[in-house]
Chain A
Amino acid sequence: MNTSLWIHLFLFPGLLFAVPASWFYVWGEHKATARIQRRIGPPLLQPVYDLVKLFGKRTPARHGIEANLLRLWPALSVLSMVGAIAMLPVFPGGPGFAGDAVILVALLEIPSICFILAGFTSGSVFAQIGAIREAILSVACNVVFLLSIVTIAVTGRTFHLSDLANVTSNPGHWIGVFGILLCIPAKLRLNPFSTSSAEQEIYSGALTEYAGAALAMWKLAHGLEWVALTGFVATMVVPAGGAWWVHAILFVAISFAEVLLLSAVAAATGRLTLERSIRFYWRWAAILAVLSISASVYARFRS
Chain B
Amino acid sequence: MNILRLIFDNLRRGTVSYPMPHTHLCTSNQYRGLIINDPERCVGCSQCAYVCPSAAIEVTRSGDNYTWTYNPSKCAFCGRCIDRCKPRTLTMKSQLPPLYSTQDELKQVLNMVRKRPVRPAAAAAGTAATANVTAPIAENAKPAEPMAGIPRKEDLA
Contact = CB atoms under 8 A, between A and B. Distances in A.
Contacts of B3: 268
Contact of A36 (B7, B16, B19): B7
A157 interface: no
B7 A267 contact: yes
B11 interface: yes
Contacts of A40: 15, 17, 19
Grouping DSSP codes into helix (H, G, I), strand (E, B) and loop, the B interface class, with mixed when no group exceeds half, is: helix
A37 B17 CA distance: 10
B111 interface: no
Contacts of A39: 15-17
Interface string B1-40: 0010011001101111101000000000000000000000
A37 B6 CA distance: 10
A37 B14 CA distance: 9
Interface residues of B, number: 11
A133 to B, nearest CB: 26
B17 A38 contact: yes
Contacts of B11: 35-36
A288 B118 CA distance: 95
A264 interface: yes
A267 B10 CA distance: 12
Contacts of A264: 7
B35 to A, nearest CB: 36
A36 B16 CA distance: 11
Interface string A228-264: 0000000000000000000000000000000000001
A268 B19 contact: no
A267 B7 CA distance: 9
Contacts of B17: 38-40
Interface in A28-45: 35-40
Given A38-B14, A268-B3, 10 more contacts: A35-B10, A38-B10, A38-B16, A38-B17, A39-B15, A39-B16, A40-B17, A40-B19, A268-B6, A268-B7
A-B pairs, 3 with minimum CB distance: A40-B17, A268-B3, A38-B16
